[in-house]
Amino acid sequence: MPDDGILEPLDAMSEARETAPIRSSEELYRGSAGGGILESLDDLADAPAERIRSRDDVMSQTGGGGILESLDDMHDARRKGLAKRDLFVELGVRLEHTPSKTMGPVVSFIEGVIVVIKDQLGIEHKFDPVPGLFRHEGDLVALRAKLLKKQGASQMTASGSIAAEDTSARVALPSRIWVEGIHDAELIERVWGDDLRYEGIVVEQLEGADDLAAMVREFSPNSHQRLGVLLDHLVDGSKETRIAAQVDDPNVLILGHPYVDIWQAIKPGAIGIQGWPSVPKGESWKEGVLKRLGVAAAPPQFWKHILGKVSSWKDVETPLVNSVEQLIDFVTAAEPAD
């Protein structure tokens, strides 16, 4: 049987509940509106863009099911008796995919999207994480990601700073931090949002940095109005490095990270993979990553999933953490206006 997570054969599922009637694959297919296992991700690709929701928002709407909307179906399946219990998956846990009889440790898992099991020959098999099709210690289970620990009521922010007791709104300072794209802005908001709001610093999206020098001149930085810029892939010989070299102003600080895309700045372990796949030059990086991870979702939907896994600076790679912290320090050190 190919490793595509198809719901055949269904004989193994009869062990889930002896009293429940065995349904055919056609009935199961009709029950999912003909969309297959990841139908909710396909639906999302056609839906209008919406704001990134917090984990608490989604948890409250999915009964504690996690980030992706597809997990609603997983909970329905569990209530119908296909799975005896939830299993919070850690890499290395041994599972059996009952239809194919594939057994071994989990080497990659993204809740509601994919689970990869390595068999005794070292071959990796990719499956849709359908509740009730996996056995753990004798029980048919629904695979779930480990829940993130909520931070204390105050104490520390997601960036690791001591949370201020006074959280009232601040008037925005004239200084700014610019980032290249919406994903960069959303990740910075998730980790450093509390700090930025406390300091009154606004993060703005560039939508591309090709005209950075002209935009800096238009901004007119000065000692009262500093500018920090965060660029992707700021390494020797890159386009971004050449763009940064065109700006020479003591009130502008341009920093970056070595990653081709901001996705890579999220630690692989935070989202349940062993590492970000290598994508050949010339191929769309995001599409290439999804293809090599075996994820049948559009980049915006997968981004919502991985962003939801970030709970603090500890889930972000050090080069990005260092650059953002330096940019915040730089712009907040501007001289106050008269």
Give 275 or 110, the one with higher predicted confidence.
275
Average pLDDT on 27-41 reads 40
pLDDT at 119: 95
Angle between helices 299-307 and 182-199 (to 10 degrees): 30
Laid out side by side, the sheet with 85-89 consists of 85-89, 139-145, 134-136, 94-97, 102-110, 114-118, 124-127
For the chain, which domains are there?
A: 11-145 (no CATH), 176-266+310-332 (3.40.50)
List, for residues 63-114, the tens digit of each pLDDT value: 333 333 333 344 444 334 477 888 889 899 999 999 999 999 999 887 777 8
Segment of 31-35, 79-83, 264-268, 308-312 carrying the highest mean pLDDT? 264-268
d(CA 267, CA 183): 15
Q: Say if residues 100 and 3 touch (Cβ distance below 8 Å).
A: yes
Chain position carrying tokens 């009154």: 200
Q: Does the pLDDT at position 31 exceed 80?
A: no
Average pLDDT score over residue span 316-334: 94
Place of tokens 């990740």: 187
Helix axes 182-199, 318-332, angle to 10 degrees: 40
Mean pLDDT of the 228-244 span: 93
What's the confidence (pLDDT) of residue 20?
43
Q: At residue 39, does pLDDT exceed 60?
A: no
Mapping DSSP onto H, E and C, the string for 263-279 reads HHHECHHHHCCCCCCCC
List the one residue out of 84, 92, 158 whose CA is nearest residue 315.
158
Residue 194: pLDDT over 80: yes
Q: What's residue 131's pLDDT?
A: 87
Beta bridge partners of 222: 225
Report the pLDDT value the prediction gives residue 59, as an integer from 0 to 100: 37
**Kind and range of the H or E run holding 88:** strand 85-89
Alpha-carbon distance 43 to 37, whole Å? Answer: 12
Helical ranges in 119-231 per DSSP H: 182-199, 212-219
pLDDT of 240 above 70: yes
- Taking only the tens place, the pLDDT of each residue in 118-155 is 999 999 999 988 888 999 999 999 888 765 544 444 45
pLDDT of residue 147: 55
pLDDT at 276 exceeding the cut of 90: yes
205: its two tokens: 């999206």
List the beta bridge partners of residue 97.
102, 134
What does each C-alpha distance from 109 to 116, 126, 142, 316 come to in angstroms?
6, 10, 13, 19
Mean pLDDT over each residue of the chain, to the nearest integer: 76
Of 328, 179, 161, the residue nearest 257 (C-alpha): 179
Give the pLDDT confidence of 288-322 residue by residue, as tens digits: 999 999 998 999 999 999 999 999 999 999 999 99
- Alpha carbon 201 to chain centroid, angstroms: 25
Q: Is 280 left (phi over 0), alpha (psi -120 to 50) or beta?
A: beta
Whole-number pLDDT of residue 317: 96
For residue 208, is pLDDT > 60?
A: yes
State the pLDDT confidence band at 62, using cuts at 50, 70 and 90: very low
Considering only residues 41 and 178, tell me which one the structure prediction assigns the higher pLDDT.
Answer: 178
Of the ranges 16-20, 62-66, 226-230, 232-236, the best mean pLDDT one: 226-230
User: Is it true that the peptide bond before 174 is cis, omega within 30 degrees of 0?
Assistant: no
Which position has the higher pLDDT, 76 or 285?
285
